[in-house]
Amino acid sequence: MNNTAEVVIIGGGVMGCSILYHLTQMGVRDVLLLEQGVLASGSTGRSQAILRMHYSNPITSAMAWQSLKRYRDFQDETGHPSGFTNTGYAVIVGPEDRDAMEDNVAMQRSLGIDTSVVSPEDLLEIAPMLNVPDAGGIAFEPQSGYADPYLVTVGYAEAARENGAQVRQRSPASSVDVEDGKIRSVTLQDGSVIHTETALVAAGPWSPRLLEPHGFHIPLEPIRHQVIMVRRPERTLPSHPIVGDILQELSFRPHSTDLTVIGVGEDSVTVDDYSQGVDPETVKDSMAKLVHRMPAIADGYFRGGWSGLFTITPDWHPILDRVPGVDGLFCAVGFSGHGFKLGAMVGQLMAEMVTQGSASTLDITPLRASRFEEGRLLTSRYRYNVLA
């Protein structure tokens, strides 16, 4: 086994694997990814995996739009499936958020994103199963949908391996070793050492353990989000679009032919000790909200669920940057509840930063690490950060 690599990536979620793939596409083949468990075993494997573009900031909307097209055409690009399913996405807001929604849609349209404000009557033509008497505003994105986060992650890893990269699972990194302000190596928990001059931390909620020893103290907080599955009555409710229900503070999407999957909740927890199941009270409350929004699902029933971790920053937006003060150390962290949909472009942009010195496809300076100390945080036009 080699004990050197041109680049070492720590973390085998969608971000680490997408960066790995993009580096190999840019000609960096001597690249090693370390994953402490198995690929996609962190937040990625628990993701609701909704792909939509409705955000308050141009950078996230643009990354989501370009990533959507890459996930849709994933098989052609990588030779592996992504499980992309086009369902359309409706965002529903209350009267108090109508102006914010219209501003967001105008911004997204200026970026070329396929979205528009629709009336309740328009929406019911597209999606007659929905019930929106309380909607103050609705936007609809016909091209949105969901993908399979496990397939995307292993697809990137496999395509990178085909390009010459190495992936080591069950190989936790214990430290990034720095001397005179430069990376020298990455040490694994088993004591082995990989010599390298470039390392990239994409370790999701575990990232602070690798970054804090280098003076990088951006607060990355783990937040528990619950995913609740409801068996859908197939005959009366064969499918439906994805709904971002800002009014009721949850989202839901169809899954295969007979399930609807709800995403809800923002509980502060610790990384190694949180309830991975769903809470009965949340199930009851969320199912009532789902029935309100889609009455025919009243004939459905609870089929189980799970919880996973968002890794949030103070503005709920990621950090894509070099780690200040350490030559050769990069990070892609803090993706909150919307990282999966950005994953393809995160890989592209971080690989550009590593190989060319800065990202060139999009201007990602709004996602720089120093924005927190500069007080230049990104803001949401809504009160519910995860939805936009």
Ligand X SMILES: Cc1cc2nc3c(=O)[nH]c(=O)nc-3n(C[C@H](O)[C@H](O)[C@H](O)COP(=O)(O)OP(=O)(O)OC[C@H]3O[C@@H](n4cnc5c(N)ncnc54)[C@H](O)[C@@H]3O)c2cc1C
Binding site for ligand X (CB under 6 A): 10-16, 34-37, 41-44, 46-50, 172-173, 202-204, 206, 225, 227, 263, 308-310, 335, 337-341
What minimum distance in Å lies between the beta carbon of 133 and ligand X? 26
Nearest CA-CA partner of 337 in 202, 237, 224, 243: 224
DSSP code per residue over 65-87 = HHHHHHHHTHHHHHSS----EE-
Instruction: Compute CA distances 364 → 82, 321, 332, 360, whole Å.
Output: 26, 9, 12, 9
The number of helices, as runs of H, and strands, as runs of E, in the chain is: 10, 20
Is residue 81 classed exposed, middle or buried when 0-12, 13-18 and 19+ CB atoms within 10 A define those classes? middle
What minimum distance in Å lies between the beta carbon of 241 and ligand X? 14
What minimum distance in Å lies between the beta carbon of 35 and ligand X? 5
Q: Based on CB atoms, which residue is closest to ligand X, 27 or 191? A: 191
Q: Based on CB atoms, which residue is closest to ligand X, 24 or 311? A: 311
Largest CA distance in the chain: 66
Q: How far apart are CA 361 and CA 340, in angstroms?
A: 19
Nearest CA-CA partner of 96 in 149, 135, 124: 135
- Residue pair 56/114 in contact (Cβ under 8 Å)? The answer is no
Sign (positive or negative) of CA dihedral 138, 339, 333, 61: negative
What minimum distance in Å lies between the beta carbon of 53 and ligand X? 11
Q: Based on CB atoms, which residue is closest to ligand X, 137 or 244? A: 244
Q: How far apart are CA 57 and CA 74, in angstroms?
A: 25
Q: Based on CB atoms, which residue is closest to ligand X, 98 or 141? A: 141
Q: Based on CB atoms, which residue is closest to ligand X, 42 or 241? A: 42
What minimum distance in Å lies between the beta carbon of 297 and ligand X? 19
Q: Based on CB atoms, which residue is closest to ligand X, 37 or 295? A: 37
What minimum distance in Å lies between the beta carbon of 164 and ligand X? 21
